[in-house]
Chains A and B, each alone.
Chain A
């Protein structure tokens, strides 16, 4: 069973369209994330949700709207796609950091990535 699964794996679309990427984890984690990896392989956090609440929101255009219907799912919806949105988007999950001192090592478990190409 895949621990963190994202769909679709590939997405090719035209500028101006709206698209969504879905993510599900079956690890029992309470925190989920979206990361963006650009063409130079640089990884940057976009959002994080803990128990369905937004806790990290980096400087991301408001065309990006994450939604977490429950703690096992975190979807990413992108409106009015632009060329610069082309990237690989990674979903990840973890236990919450509040347990770090009690043995939670803070590691993130990543999905396989969704490659978005905007033409």
Chain B
């Protein structure tokens, strides 16, 4: 099966940039996602990147994909205290002709933003 690894913790100061990294083993992933989980809540999709792209920018978020190294990163510019949460990367192995999206999630990175 696929392994998706992330570092467990990241601490940054408010206003700095955060970079959360993810490595994966399955090169057949068609889409890669970043989800955010706040305490006591479900997972919220932040952004995604298609596997034929190497960068995607969405306001304060920048996703970089290095397919050769199977490395995905999420950069959050001007990190705020409201960004404190757990961030999960996930890969979609596709196409899945059975009619379902089997996402494999990373281990999650706890981002702590300090004043």
Instruction: With A90-B42, A112-B41 as known contacts, state yes or no: A106 contacts B30, CB within 8 Å.
Output: yes
Once bound together, how far apart are the Cα atoms of A113 and B35, in whole Å? Answer: 15
Once bound together, how far apart are the Cα atoms of A90 and B37, in whole Å? Answer: 12
Q: Is A97 an interface residue (CB 8 A)?
A: yes
Which interface class (under 10, 10 to 19, 20 to 34, 35 or more) fits A? 20 to 34
**Residue among A43, A90, A97 making CB contact with B100, cutoff 8 Å:** A97
**Residue among B42, B43, B99, B105 making CB contact with A98, cutoff 8 Å:** B99
Which interface class (under 10, 10 to 19, 20 to 34, 35 or more) fits B? 20 to 34
Q: Are A56 and B100 in contact (CB under 8 A)?
A: yes
Q: Is A14 an interface residue (CB 8 A)?
A: no
**Residue among B30, B43, B103 making CB contact with A45, cutoff 8 Å:** B103
Once bound together, how far apart are the Cα atoms of A101 and B40, in whole Å? Answer: 34
Q: Min CB distance, B39 to chain A, in Å? A: 11
Give a binary string over A85-116; 1 marks a CB under 8 Å from any B CB, 0 the rest: 00000101010111011000111111111000
**Residue among A30, A43, A97, A107 making CB contact with B96, cutoff 8 Å:** A97
Q: Min CB distance, B63 to chain A, in Å? A: 13
Once bound together, how far apart are the Cα atoms of A74 and B101, in whole Å? Answer: 16
Q: Are A48 and B102 in contact (CB under 8 A)?
A: yes
* B20-28, B74-82, B87-95 - the one binding chain A: B87-95
Q: Min CB distance, B111 to chain A, in Å? A: 13
Q: Are B48 and A48 in contact (CB under 8 A)?
A: no
Instruction: With A108-B103, A112-B42 as known contacts, state yes or no: A43 contacts B97, CB within 8 Å.
Output: no
Q: Is A55 an interface residue (CB 8 A)?
A: yes
11 more A-B contacts (CB under 8 A) besides A31-B100, A106-B30, A107-B48? A40-B107, A41-B107, A41-B108, A42-B108, A56-B102, A94-B101, A98-B97, A98-B99, A107-B101, A108-B101, A112-B40
**Which residue numbers of A lie inside 8 Å of B, CB to CB?**
4, 30-31, 33, 40-45, 48, 50-51, 55-56, 90, 92, 94, 96-98, 100-101, 105-113
